[in-house]
Structure 1
Amino acid sequence: MDSIRSLSDPRIQAFLSSRRNDRIYHPSPSNWEDQVLYFLLPDRFSDGNERGYHSSSSQFESTSQTPLFQPSDAGNAVRNPQDEALWQEAGVRFAGGTITGMRTKLGYLKRLGIGAIWVGPIFKQVAGLETYHGYGVQDFLNIDPRFGTREDLRELVREAHEMGIYVLLDIILNHAGNVWEYQGGAKEYTGEEFPVEGFFDAQRVPNIDMDPDAVAAHLSAYPDGAVWPSELQSKNCFTRKGSIRSDGWDEYPQCVDGDFFDLKDINLGQHQLEGFAPTPALLALVEVYQFWMAYADVDGFRIDTVKHMGDGPTRYFATRIHEFAQSLGKDNFILIGEILGDRVFETVETTGIDAALGVGGIQEQLWKLPRGLVSPKGYFGMFTNSAYMNRGAHAWFRDTIVCMVDDHDQVWNPSQKSRYCCGDGKKTILAAEAMNLCTVGIPCIYYGSEQCFDGTGSDDRYIREAMFGGGFGAFRSRDRHFFNEEFAVYRAIAEIAEIRKTELALRRGRQYLRKISRDGAAFGYPVKYPRGPMRSVVAWSRIFDDVEILCAINTDGDSEQSAWVRVNGGSKPPGVTFEPLYPKGKASLTVEKKAAGAAVQVMVPPGGFCMYKSRQRELTSRDGRKSSRRSRYFCC
């Protein structure tokens, strides 16, 4: 299917027509909150040349080139100023990851407990620019050749499905890459339309008129000039109002009509819902992504920069995509929106997308709480203080928020980009990822977190290290890979994810922050005081039907912490216990009567996590026979 330039191509239309029903598509999961997501940037994940890892079939790979990272390899890329400069420069260029490389690591992800992969953008980028992250699209119908081919994507999805892993694609509607130039150079938003010079050709000269006929007549327009498909080649497909000013990211309509830096804003139509009519550009993009659904059999989309699209275009797109997905037999095809600002939940409900990416406030709390830098009521309050939505306190968030500790942007911390494990974060990374896995929402792990990547620096490159090493490996290394399944944090996440898979309460249960006490007498919620970090047990319960699972982390990375924790016990029978789920080998907890009610005493290792479940009790029925069921002593 090479050289597809238009949506009118019969090969595209074959997938958009009724003939798509001749194929049996992979069904959606019944509930997305049952899955653990894993987000990766294709350029930074794997090139398939690693040695010393286990394949999808658990075979040990010993013939490839790149060896497994050892602690002594840290800093091997920065041993002198010249090498350090090369390592830093490598961070802003394509590193060499591929779709085939992803395929070779499906076993690694499966054994980690991953149920769905969120793949960063893989579409063809603007030639001559180092948009390795994938968000500068020039051709929406083709895969960037540095990543692979359409068939490579199709094979990745097929193999993932065979292993029980869903695949989500990161897609862009708001903008194209830097594919054309304004007359006189870059412009800032003023509210007016600016004249344009033309599309760039393959040599980055803006000499192609913004008209499909002019593009078709230009010999060097395809594949590396203009924008594709041809349905996007009219100048009216773009707003042409200049880039969003530094003070305008939350200013309407600038934040919707302006260019995202030098990425060119696509004209999707009016922003309001009433009377919305899609533009030709939006209609084209709907068909583009319907094609990828039908061709590759993917299971969902993460939609970039939803905040900058407007509610009208977002709802139109969501409706068309959901209807098309149902025609393929994908009744729960998920649309996850990147939504920043104060309209997150309103946007989800208004537009019909399924979930919001929990960046910003939620991510900041997940990052700071396990370090003891904030009080826990900040994080847990985000899931309980929802009266304004007239919703049940926690149920609505269960499958509408995707939560993650780290990501590739870290928008809440623009002045200093840092992964969680930077500094002393390694001491509490288990606590952070355990919170992510065992609190409300759809958990997502950012690639490398399971290997304690600790990137930190002045821009995004430092939190986008290459898992396969190359010239920009983690820990300031090069030519070493990090697919180490014996690494302690990898193994801990895998064990917790497996428990999550078997325990419905951890996936769908109600959630309650628990009061604690040092002495068993005075109970209260842990509080971060100004004088320093909070060194404390933080405990919460997940309750589903008659099951309670008690979870606790320790924000002290250096010392074990003990606390009495309030649990449910309104009609507590004598001797009720909580049995250990994680880590294995811990003693059971016996519920005791305290002044504040029923409580158990937990001991949590430095920076650690523990989890207990209320045990089954044998009850005697009226006919004298014993039946096994859970003790109904809950009062919430």
Structure 2
Amino acid sequence: MRIQTNLSFYKLILLVLLFSASAKAQIQKVEPPFWYAGMQNPELQIMFYGKNIAQYEASVSNNVVIKNVEKTENPNYLFVTIDTQNLKASEFVFSFKTKNKVAFTQKYSLKERRANSANRKSYDASDMIYLIMPDRFANGNPKNDSDANLTEKGNRAEPGGRHGGDIEGIIKNLDYISSLGATTIWSTPLCEDNDKQHSYHTYGQSDVYKIDPRYGTNDDYARLSAEMHKKDMKLVMDYVTNHWGITHWMMKDIPTKTWFNQFENFTQTHHRREVLTDIHASKIDKEICTDGWFVPSMPDLNLRNPLVAKYLTQNAIWWIEFANLDGFRVDTYNYSDPAAMANWAKAITNEYPNFNIVGEIWMHNQANLAYWQKDSKIGAIENYNSNLPSVMDFTLQSQITSAFNESEGTWDNGLIKFYNNFAMDYLYPNTNNILVFAENHDTDRMNDKFKYDFPKYKLAMTLLATIRGIPQLYYGSEIGMGGDKSKGDADIRQDFPGGWNGDKNNAFTAAGRTAEQVKYFDFTSKLFNWRKTNEAVHSGKMTHYIPENNTYVYFRYTDTKTVMVVFNNNAKEQTIKTNRFKENIQNFKSGKDIISGKTFDLTTEITLEPKSAVVLELE
């Protein structure tokens, strides 16, 4: 009897092990991997992936209601939608049956949300955003420079290769970023990118639920967010809705033929996004714009497919909850179907009413930009509302790197470019919520365009710090870094000096900076730390005056504070009579320059040095 009992016991153990192994073999992926209780939208679409999983009938424990089960022509996918209304944080079990017998089960968790998660505060015009390419910023953990399961290995000698920067490197340098006056970090994507080469930019993602191991882990990303919040800083995720990478795991086994946009022959987008608002545009031009692939290595996602739209919406919300994010920047925003993107943005802002999302609308016409901002009157003409809170001011960006190089003002050159840009602000529904910048990871480097002329850099930074909108600074510019885009993208994405063991120059520390780097850093830090405290440039009104002699004057003001900004873009000293600005100067007698501390008498005239600007707090 004792022998038989033991045999029965071992048989039971064997059966349990076999059952467990069967379940693991059957279900290869579950996405989202878990979810959260108490979401405003109670419907949760869970994707189960595994060999012939669609042949099984799904059920779930704990009286959880299954609202829909959807199968596609690919039997390896099953999309199960459940109702989470009134469900508390708990674990329940999905059972998969065949012929009324349970073949295997899968546990699933609803986790507790953070307190007041839905009302999280996002970034706004009181913030300054610091843009990082993590692979090029700092290598905090050299052990993860390569990963056995990913193709491209670390190779810092290759300009376009993986250099080893990671999440740990960002965490270790948060104090440096904060010392600049930056309150927010936008990092280019961190999810896994298994391209054979140039994977460091990470816009061709191969798994959107997993941080690339060469950057760290999902928990490292959540830790970055937590460490930033301790310092009263905000984390913005770079989200990509338009495309994935050619090595995305679904490309090996596509859920449905309509998951990605496909033509009979490979078709690349023509990048002419004007067709989306062009009332005369042909259907084929519009189709190629939204459905054509960005590049051959980036399959174009079809957001008109409800399964895809739900997948991307839930993935975005999952990251917000998991990593406690403070906002999104969305790549190639208007390359996707406009109606689908409006629904995506609305679903996220329904869950998080204060959540800010800025879209990359890379166009150089204010009407085209304003069309894409939420509640645009231009979009309303066609009954369209993008639901996108913010857009990137590319018109201003291109003018910054040209206007400050034009020392002689003409009818349409020099500082008049800025006046004309802001004169079009009536097109925008919310001018305070526009991202303003001189450069980013895709554009020419500002310092290179200025030929490393420090006075021009100061002019550009002064403009960004004092105009309407949310300023963004690209890593390294604050120490004089540049790069020539004509030499390739790697040249405008160079390693930050001091981010790697053995670097001869460590610009992360005051003692490690060269004299030239100190000059750039100290000015930038003083300017943007002042900006943190001045509500007039966060949310104040703006009055500007037509430039004369390539000088430009504007005021930012509230009921209690007035800031006067004066630019001299000439190669010679300029004296400016102040009586012209009486409506804003009013009874103020003087103004104190926030950089030099010098007091300027405003009763008659002020004199500015060549290629200089002053930011005056009026007294």
TM superposition score normalised by structure 1: 0.68
Matched, 1:379 2:418: yes
Instruction: Describe how 1:353-364 pairs up with structure 2 within 5 A.
Output: 353-359=388-394, 361-364=395-398
Instruction: Describe how 1:56-75 pairs up with structure 2 within 5 A.
Output: none
Instruction: Give the Cα separation in 2 of the matches to 1:10 and 1:247.
Output: 35
The CA deviation at 1:387 is 4.5
Instruction: Describe how 1:2-21 pairs up with structure 2 within 5 A.
Output: 6-8=29-31, 11-12=34-35, 19=89, 20-21=111-112
The CA deviation at 1:613 is 2.1
Q: For 1:409, which of 426, 432, 442 is the aligned residue?
A: 442
Structure with higher RCO (Cα < 8 A, 6+ apart): 1
The CA deviation at 1:148 is 0.5
Matched, 1:338 2:360: yes
Q: For 2:125, which of 18, 26, 33 is the aligned residue?
A: 33
Aligned in 2, Cα 1:566/1:92: closer, same or farther, shift over 3 Å? farther
Matched, 1:237 2:276: no
The CA deviation at 1:136 is 0.7
Which string of whole-angstrom CA distances, capped at 9 and with x for unpartnered residues, describes residues 65-85 of structure 1?
A: xxxxxxxxxxxxxxxxxxxxx
Q: Which residue of 2 aligns with 1:555?
A: 569
Instruction: Describe how 1:487-526 pairs up with structure 2 within 5 A.
Output: 487-515=518-546, 525-526=547-548
The CA deviation at 1:102 is 0.2
Instruction: Give the Cα separation in 1 of the matches to 2:330 and 2:373.
Output: 12
Contact 2:204 2:244 in 1 (8 A): yes
TM superposition score normalised by structure 2: 0.70
The CA deviation at 1:290 is 1.1
Q: Which residue of 2 aligns with 1:610?
A: 614
Q: Which residue of 2 aligns with 1:316?
A: 343
The CA deviation at 1:334 is 0.8
Q: Which residue of 2 aligns with 1:137?
A: 205
Which string of whole-angstrom CA distances, capped at 9 and with x for unpartnered residues, describes residues 233-255 of structure 1?
A: 43321012334255756542211
Instruction: Give the Cα separation in 2 of the matches to 1:480 and 1:120.
Output: 25
Matched, 1:23 2:114: yes
Consecutive unaligned residues in structure 1, runs of 5 or more? 51-85, 181-197, 201-207, 212-232, 271-277, 326-330, 516-524, 528-535, 593-600, 616-636
Letter in 2 for 1:98: D
The CA deviation at 1:310 is 2.3
Instruction: Give the Cα separation in 1 of the matches to 2:113 and 2:156.
Output: 50
Aligned in 2, Cα 1:380/1:234: closer, same or farther, shift over 3 Å? same
Q: Secondary structure at the match of 1:33?
A: coil
Aligned in 2, Cα 1:572/1:508: closer, same or farther, shift over 3 Å? closer
Q: For 2:165, which of 94, 97, 116 is the aligned residue?
A: 97
Contact 1:434 1:496 in 2 (8 A): yes
Instruction: Give the Cα separation in 2 of the matches to 1:439 and 1:449.
Output: 19
Matched, 1:118 2:191: no
Aligned in 2, Cα 1:23/1:571: closer, same or farther, shift over 3 Å? closer
Q: Which residue of 1 aligns with 2:478?
A: 450
Which string of whole-angstrom CA distances, capped at 9 and with x for unpartnered residues, describes residues 343-366 of structure 1?
A: 22111132111100122x210112
The CA deviation at 1:319 is 1.2
Contact 2:479 2:521 in 1 (8 A): yes
Aligned in 2, Cα 1:386/1:583: closer, same or farther, shift over 3 Å? closer
> How many positions carry a matched residue from both structures?
478
Q: Which residue of 2 aligns with 1:255?
A: 289
Instruction: Give the Cα separation in 2 of the matches to 1:567 and 1:48.
Output: 54
Contact 1:112 1:494 in 2 (8 A): yes
Contact 1:367 1:420 in 2 (8 A): no
Instruction: Give the Cα separation in 2 of the matches to 1:369 and 1:295.
Output: 43
Contact 2:431 2:469 in 1 (8 A): yes
The CA deviation at 1:478 is 6.5
Which string of whole-angstrom CA distances, capped at 9 and with x for unpartnered residues, describes residues 46-75 of structure 1?
A: 11379xxxxxxxxxxxxxxxxxxxxxxxxx
Contact 2:192 2:207 in 1 (8 A): yes
Aligned in 2, Cα 1:456/1:127: closer, same or farther, shift over 3 Å? closer
Contact 1:580 1:613 in 2 (8 A): yes
Q: Secondary structure at the match of 2:471?
A: strand
Matched, 1:352 2:387: yes
Q: Which residue of 2 aligns with 1:521?
A: none
Matched, 1:47 2:69: no
Matched, 1:460 2:489: yes
Letter in 2 for 1:580: K
Contact 1:44 1:468 in 2 (8 A): no
Matched, 1:292 2:319: yes
The CA deviation at 1:158 is 0.3
Contact 1:311 1:347 in 2 (8 A): no
Contact 2:589 2:602 in 1 (8 A): yes
Contact 2:404 2:414 in 1 (8 A): no
Letter in 2 for 1:569: K
Aligned in 2, Cα 1:564/1:139: closer, same or farther, shift over 3 Å? same
Which string of whole-angstrom CA distances, capped at 9 and with x for unpartnered residues, describes residues 19-40 of structure 1?
A: 3554226764477011111111
The CA deviation at 1:121 is 0.2
Instruction: Give the Cα separation in 1 of the matches to 2:459 and 2:123.
Output: 25
Q: Which residue of 2 aligns with 1:541?
A: 555
Q: For 2:462, which of 434, 440, 454 is the aligned residue?
A: 434
Which string of whole-angstrom CA distances, capped at 9 and with x for unpartnered residues, describes residues 61-119 of structure 1?
A: xxxxxxxxxxxxxxxxxxxxxxxxx9996221111110010001110111111111111
Which string of whole-angstrom CA distances, capped at 9 and with x for unpartnered residues, describes residues 115-174 of structure 1?
A: 111111000002423221110101000000111100110110001001010000001110
Q: Which residue of 2 aligns with 1:179?
A: 247
Instruction: Give the Cα separation in 1 of the matches to 2:392 and 2:28.
Output: 32
Which string of whole-angstrom CA distances, capped at 9 and with x for unpartnered residues, describes residues 199-242 of structure 1?
A: 77xxxxxxx4x34xxxxxxxxxxxxxxxxxxxxx4332101233
